[in-house]
Structure 1
Amino acid sequence: MRRRASTLAWGILALLAAALSAPGLRTGIENSMVLHMLVQMPLLWAAGGGLMAGIDPGARLGARFDMQGLSSFSFCLVVVSYWMLPSAIDRAVLEPGIDALKVASLLACGASLRQAVMRAPAVVRLFFLGYLLQMTLWLGLYWAFTEERLCNVYSLSTQQQAGAGLAALAVALGAVFVWRLARAAASGPESTASTP
């Protein structure tokens, strides 16, 4: 019952995040890079992971092809890297079909990340999540401080705001990740092997 309620809540969150791309509601992400990059995209990512958490671990497919979460982590890195490209962001705003692809791929990315974290030992999680977070931090700082307008659909000021927010998000997620690793290490090796 509890798992069903959790899945329903994550499903509603996924629908709300996807609704920002719906016709008539798209003006928000068309006008604000902050809403696009710091609200919709992270919500889609989180909702994908949350929906996967509601699935019985025994029912998850692909474990044989995803040893230690390597395939899932690699897929997630490719998806996140692509949607951080200014040209990809522009296309998602200008072309509804590309935006639908963004929604689907980020949900799948969140689901893949959840699977990867559950399957990977601590050192593999540290490598991939560390790389993802430092890439996000570097890109956020670059967007925040550059005087060059990188996205054609957004103004320089909203680009800089989104960059500052992206850097802050990377630092916050990194702090949470390090704290959880430290807590798991203090609890013993069994906990370290299973803590996301």
Structure 2
Amino acid sequence: MMRARPRFVAGAVLAAGCVSWPLHDLLEAGMATHMLVQFPLLLLAGALLHASRSTSGDARFASGDEPAWNRLGIAGLVFAACVLALGMIPRLLDLALVDARVEAAKIAALLAAGAALHASWRRAGLVVQGFFLGNVLPMTAVVGMLYQDAPQRLCNGYRLDEQVLVGTLLVALAVALALGWLVAAGIRMHRAENIGVHGPDVALPSTCASAPRLAAFTAGGPHHEERSWPEDASTTTSRRP
């Protein structure tokens, strides 16, 4: 409970700052800050708000008890992918600038997507995470290249040079996230292999302490007895007087 309260406060303050004047207007004044600053901040706020109430959910996850609707985190990741895809449509960016209803829907969707990512990411595992990123990151890079190569403005609310800058940053972001996840996945797999070899709680004994045990083991153990095998019948007969 003590850990949940700071997360809730941080998430609420972050969300309130993103939707309130003057930070809201400053973030949406430029296309780069609108897509690459406000969007991630709202996702982070949603994740923090969900983390503040998910202590029982973390306990269920640790015990292996997952909700049926979000098995392996698939439903949450699909929802987050859809929200991110819609957020990169130029027409919706324009509507969010002039229509309060679209702006409210955008904010609510991004907060919900952040909560869904927090609820689903650890449950997903490396395979589902890779499938999710394998769809979202190439889509992000393709949208970035379209923004760079378009000869005219795709968003009426922003200049052409801003559009080109956002396209470049989207491609760079997709590459950076892909490399970061690959490194993290490699570290995680390496740790899992080490745990599989040594066990999670195996403590290797010191040489001095293990020497007597090793000697006893090689000698056959503490209860080892020399076993006498029966002699061959022909040999026994030949020894009789």
Instruction: Give TM-score scaled by structure 1 length.
Output: 0.85
Equivalent in 86, 90, 115 of residue 90 of structure 2: 86
Residue aligning to 1:163: 167
Q: Distance in 2 between matches of 1:28 and 1:159?
A: 17
Q: Does 1:47 align with 2:45?
A: yes
The structure-2 alpha-carbon separation of the partners of 1:13 and 1:26, relative to structure 1 and needing over 3 Å to count, comes to: closer
Kindly state the Cα deviation for residue 141 of structure 1 after the two structures are TM-superposed. 2.3
Q: Distance in 2 between matches of 1:25 and 1:50?
A: 19
Number of positions where the alignment pairs a residue of Structure 1 with one of Structure 2: 188
Percent sequence identity over matched residues?
A: 34
Kindly state the Cα deviation for residue 161 of structure 1 after the two structures are TM-superposed. 1.3
Structure having the higher Rg: 2
Kindly state the Cα deviation for residue 139 of structure 1 after the two structures are TM-superposed. 1.0
Q: Distance in 2 between matches of 1:171 and 1:106?
A: 22
Kindly state the Cα deviation for residue 58 of structure 1 after the two structures are TM-superposed. 2.5
Q: How does 1:24-63 map to 2 (within 5 A)?
A: 26-59=24-57, 63=67
Aligned partners of 2:47 and 2:116 also within 8 Å: yes
Kindly state the Cα deviation for residue 27 of structure 1 after the two structures are TM-superposed. 3.9
Aligned partners of 2:17 and 2:24 also within 8 Å: no
Kindly state the Cα deviation for residue 103 of structure 1 after the two structures are TM-superposed. 0.6
Residue aligning to 1:194: none
Kindly state the Cα deviation for residue 105 of structure 1 after the two structures are TM-superposed. 0.4
Provide the alpha-carbon RMSD of the alignment.
2.3
Residue aligning to 1:2: 3
Kindly state the Cα deviation for residue 97 of structure 1 after the two structures are TM-superposed. 1.5
Q: Which has the higher contact order (CA 8 A, sep 6+)?
A: 1
Structure 2: gaps spanning 5 or more residues: 61-65, 196-241
Deviation readout 1:48-91 (Å, 9 max, x if unpaired):
12222233343489821111111111111111111111111111
Structure 1: gaps spanning 5 or more residues: 192-196
Aligned partners of 1:45 and 1:110 also within 8 Å: yes
The structure-2 alpha-carbon separation of the partners of 1:18 and 1:108, relative to structure 1 and needing over 3 Å to count, comes to: same
Residue aligning to 2:236: none
Aligned partners of 2:27 and 2:37 also within 8 Å: no
Residue aligning to 2:18: 17
Instruction: Give TM-score scaled by structure 2 length.
Output: 0.70
Equivalent in 99, 111, 116 of residue 112 of structure 1: 116
Higher helix share: 1
Kindly state the Cα deviation for residue 43 of structure 1 after the two structures are TM-superposed. 0.8
Q: Does 1:122 align with 2:122?
A: no
Q: Which moved more, 1:58-67 or 1:117-126?
A: 58-67
Residue aligning to 2:71: 67
